Amino acid sequence: MPSTSIRKTEYDPDREILSVWFVTSGKRYDYEAVPAATYQAFQDAFAKGRFFNAHIRDRFKYRRASENDDNG
């Protein structure tokens, strides 16, 4: 199901980095040390925003990607 809050996600399994682009701001945030199983559950979730809020936001260290990285 498409999300009204999350525009796009990418996952780097070697570095366990989850990149999330948000609809409202268009900005990208990179979440560190996200296990592959968590990313897969996120992809499989019916309500992506709800899953993100319950299982990723405030649970993993994150950083705002630079402006040059936001276009993904």
pLDDT at 3: 80
pLDDT at 66: 83
pTM as predicted: 0.87
Residue 2 banded pLDDT, cuts 50, 70, 90: low
Helices (H), 1-72: 36-44, 48-55
- d(CA 20, CA 28) in angstroms, rounded, equals 5
pLDDT at 53: 96
Which tens digits make up the pLDDT trace of 9-68?
999 999 999 999 999 999 999 999 999 999 999 999 999 999 999 999 999 999 999 876
